[in-house]
Every structure is written in structure tokens, then in C-alpha cells.
Amino acid sequence: MDFLNSIPWFLMATSLAKTIFLVFLVVLPMVSYTVYAERRVSALIQDRLGPNRTGFPLTLLGFKKDFSPFLGGLGQPVADAVKFLLKEDLTPGHVNKPYFWLAPCLAMMPALVTLSAIPFGSEFMGVKMVIADINVGLLFMFAISSVGVYGIVLAGWASNSKYPFLGGIRSSSQMISYELCMGLSAVPVLLIAGSTGLSKIVDFQVREGWLLAPFTDGNLSLRELLLWVPVGVAFITFTISMFAETNRLPFDLPESETELVAGYHTEYSSMKFALFFLGEYTAMIAGSALIVVLFLGGWHVPFMPDGRAGWVWGLLNIGTFFAKVAGLLFFFIWVRWTLPRFRYDQLMKLGWLYLFEIALVNIFLTAGILALCK
């Protein structure tokens, strides 16, 4: 079989190892603990405590006391997962079955696939810490996340009932609109870094300082000072679009409880619902990771050596990257429990009349600055 011989085994093995590490050891635990953080932080913001006492209910088996081995409620995600797996999986009679089953998978998959282009660390034991180092990484992220809308649209349509349908319609138009803003607000970054490869953007920021904090390379030139304005604007518009793309409050109209019960996943239960939930949070993590890569220097720690200097530094870089992502996730949660939901026309107006124009003007501004200060 020369087909088998043509496969580069080392590449395959490291890619597999990286995929398993990223998906099963980092992102999925991160997703479940983001859900936990969501509940805990929302509780703290609202002067409550939140889930803080999850353990094993040993009293059910006849023991004297329950066993709570985790600090506070850290066992909550485990309990949630078990609950989701054990709940009755109900498929209503009026749904369009094949699509009803397909939709949750389509909601979860793209979010996970986008992670493959993210450089989540510098180098570790001589292996680059990115699963697919393609030179169109950013476009790849946009492309795959734009496919993510199918899950929601199909869920809304296949459920064959009014609230999911309205949720699906809202979601698809919202995601199409904000994809434009998101793409356009990332263009200044591409102009400055001169590449669409995510690794190259990070390399640029390692050399010249983070885009949002250009002093991290130790000096601050006039050009960087001038570029700070468009980069700041791009950061704000990009972050706002990311909120809309991931259907987070204040733009969570597809599932606004007060109007649509639960939006596109109203008819779903058990693990199928959990897949939507996981997909939403994975998309959030992928989005935060993208913001970190584009604006916050990726895995870079200022004034420290990177992974080429030894495996300790490699680990540090990976840790830094996910710490930055976690910080952004906290910001996502914080915003969610602060702002009220937008009205639908306000959302469309914001996207098409303001963010879109601001992003366009911002591109011209960046190009002008780049042309003037060589």
C-alpha cells in the first residue's frame, strides 16, 4: 500500500496528540467550567452564592454523610454532565427527524473544528503548538464559524414549531450580518501584520509588541502610537461582533427566554440540548482565542523567552494563552450579567449602520497610517 507509506507518521502522531490535548484535556473541561463560572459569577454579581456544595449523595446508599470532595461546587460540571447523559432523550412527534438529529451535531462540530487553526502555544519539545498551521488561518476560522449557523437554522426549522423557528430565523440573519462586521474589523490587523496566517500574526506581535499593547516589545514608536487608534477601534468592533456571532447577551435574541421560551433549542432535551450548549460555549472559547491571537499577543509573555528556550517556557506559553482566553471568557460572562438584551431592530441597526461603517472607515484609517509612516 503506497497510500499508507505516503502518510507522514510523525506529523500524524503529533497532530493527533495535539488534537486530543486541545479538545479533550483543555477545551471540553474549559467549556464545562465556563458553564460553572457562568453560574458562579452571575450569582456573585447578583449577591448570591451559586452552586457551592456538589458532592456524591452517599446518603442515598445508606451512609451517614454525603461526600463532597471538591472545593465548593467544583463538582457541579461533572454532575451536570451525568445529568445530561441520563435524562430522557425526547424526540417530539411533529419534528423532521433526520434534520432534528443532525442539527445538534452541526452546532457542535464547526466550533471544535475552528480550534484547529489556533496557535495555542509557541513550541513544546520542538513541536509547534498549532494543529493546522495554514496560511489562511483567519479566513479559515471565519469560514468554519459561518458554517456553524446551519446547526441553529436546521434546529429551528426541523423542530417544526413556532418559537424554535423564530429563533432559527433570528439567528441566521444575525450571524450573516455580524460576520461582515467581524471580517471587516479584522482587516486592520491583517494590514498591520501583513499575513492571514494566525501563527504569523502572533509572530509579528512577538517581534513588534502586542497590537493592543505595542509597548510589550520594549519600545513605542510613533507609528505604533498612531496605529493604536485603529487597533483599539478594531478591537472594540471585533469584540462586539464576536458577542453577536456567539449569540451571547446582549445579543442573545435567538434564544431570548422572555419571547421565545428557549429559541431554537426549545424542543431539544438531554444530550442533544447539551450539544447545543457545548457548541455555544466552544464557539465562545474559539472566539476568545481568536481575539487573543489577533489583539492580545497570543501565547506571548512580554520579556520572556518562548518555547525554543526549553520545555518549561513552552508550557508557560500554553498556560499564558489559556489564561488570556479565560480572562476574556470572564469578560464575556461579566458583560452578560450586566447588560440588558437588545431589541431586534436595534441589533440590526447597530450591525449594519454603525459597526459596518466604523469598520470600513477604520480600514482606510489603518491603510493611511501604514502608507504615511513606513
Q: Is 59 in the site for other proteins (CB under 8 A)?
A: no
Query: 282 phi and psi, to 5 degrees?
Result: -65, -40
Grid cell, residue 365, equals 484609517
Output DSSP code: residue 308: G
Can you say how many angstroms the Cα of residue 94 is from the centroid of all Cα atoms in its chain? 33
Of the candidate residues 36, 163, 165, 276, the single one contacting other proteins (CB under 8 A): 165
C-beta separation of 349 from 177 below 8 A? no
Whole-number minimum distance, CB 37 to other proteins, in Å?
12
Can you say how many angstroms the Cα of residue 158 is from the centroid of all Cα atoms in its chain? 26
Peptide bond connecting 250 to the previous residue in cis, omega within 30 degrees of 0: yes
Whole-number minimum distance, CB 312 to other proteins, in Å?
31
Whole-number minimum distance, CB 95 to other proteins, in Å?
13
Q: Quick one: 79 or 139, whose CB is closer to other proteins?
A: 139
C-beta separation of 240 from 358 below 8 A? no
Helix axis angle, 28-45 relative to 76-86, nearest 10°?
Answer: 110
Q: Is 12 in the site for other proteins (CB under 8 A)?
A: no
Whole-number minimum distance, CB 173 to other proteins, in Å?
7
What residues have CB less than 8 Å from 97, skipping those under 6 apart?
A: 91, 158
Positions 172 through 201 that interact with other proteins (CB under 8 A): 172-173, 175-176, 179, 195-197
Of the candidate residues 8, 10, 47, 60, the single one contacting other proteins (CB under 8 A): 47
User: Distance (Å, rounded) from C-alpha 373 to C-alpha 96?
Assistant: 59
Grid cell, residue 239, equals 469584540
Q: Is 94 in the site for other proteins (CB under 8 A)?
A: no
Q: Is 46 in the site for other proteins (CB under 8 A)?
A: yes
Buried b (16+ CB within 10 A) or exposed e, 24-51: eebbbebbbbbbbbbbbbebeeeeeebb
Q: In the chain, at which residue ranges do the beta strands (DSSP E only) sit? A: 123-124, 127-128
Whole-number minimum distance, CB 311 to other proteins, in Å?
27
Of the candidate residues 36, 100, 157, 204, the single one contacting other proteins (CB under 8 A): 157
Positions 224 through 263 that interact with other proteins (CB under 8 A): 236
Whole-number minimum distance, CB 81 to other proteins, in Å?
25
Q: Quick one: 135 or 221, whose CB is closer to other proteins?
A: 135
Q: Quick one: 46 or 258, whose CB is closer to other proteins?
A: 46
Whole-number minimum distance, CB 72 to other proteins, in Å?
12
Q: Is 70 in the site for other proteins (CB under 8 A)?
A: no
Residues that bind other proteins (CB under 8 A): 3, 6, 41, 44-49, 99, 134-136, 139-140, 142-144, 146-147, 149-150, 153-154, 156-157, 165, 168-169, 172-173, 175-176, 179, 195-197, 236, 334-335, 337-339
